[in-house]
Amino acid sequence: MKLSTAILLVVDIGAVSGVAHVVRESGGHLTDPLTLVSVVSPGIPLLAFIVLRRWADQDMPSRPQSGRRWSQAAWKATWWAAKLAGERREMLEPWRAHLVGDPENGVALTPRQQQWLALGFAVAAIRYRLHDALQPLWRPVDWFLSSDSRTNSFVSALVGGQAIYIVDDGGIPALVTEVWEPCGILGGALYVLTRWLRKVRCIELAKTRKASKEE
């Protein structure tokens, strides 16, 4: 019996003992909903653990049979990382290949190296999931950046709003003395930011796409 299973059993035995005490105090009547919940709930963690382990053991690929030492934790962590990354990416086989190495050519990882590699797979899987979760948030940004007119209108609105705020706070003289410098800095920063985002997001302007199609 593994340590995790033993701990769950001890916890469940203690919980069941407490429930038995509650039942005795209530005179053996289980009509109270709270009493029923207290009777059923102690077995839920152990049942869930057994189901998950049975499912994982059936679906988890077996380790290569060889004379080398293998890290069982790294092998299982790689499997879970591939599941977290998503089945559409099909990362299990490539990651398993990295974990196995190339023993025929003398490229063999120690159990410690396998564990570090599996940790890297887990980090990569989390990044994949974050990318999938944040991808919809980029759609309105990409829509603005894909057209010069929309981008320029957005930048002009921000710079104009800043100018109106300065004039409203400092009066008409501020239009000549105070507006130009902060508005110029904001406009230049937004111009650089939009060009950088287009490069990072690999966005091609709409008019550029039309010109390339005509040619």
Last residue within a domain, chosen from 136, 159, 193: 136
Last residue within a domain, chosen from 15, 37, 59: 59
By CB neighbour count within 10 A (0-12 exposed, 13-18 middle, 19+ buried), where does 172 fall? exposed
pLDDT, tens digit, 9 for 90 and up, residues 30-78? 455 555 555 555 555 555 555 555 555 545 555 554 545 567 888 888 8
Domain boundaries, position 28: 1-59
pLDDT, tens digit, 9 for 90 and up, residues 150-173? 998 989 999 888 888 877 766 666
For the chain, the residue count is 215
Q: Is residue 66 part of a domain?
A: no
Within 104-179, where are the H helices?
A: 111-134, 138-145, 148-170, 173-177
Q: Rounded to an integer, what distance in angstroms lies between the CA atom of residue 126 and that of residue 31?
A: 46
φ and ψ of 102, to 5 deg = -135, 80
Last residue within a domain, chosen from 104, 136, 168: 136
Domain count, the chain: 3
Q: Is residue 64 part of a domain?
A: no
pTM of the full structure? 0.49
- The CA-based angle 6-12-13, given to 5 degrees, is 90
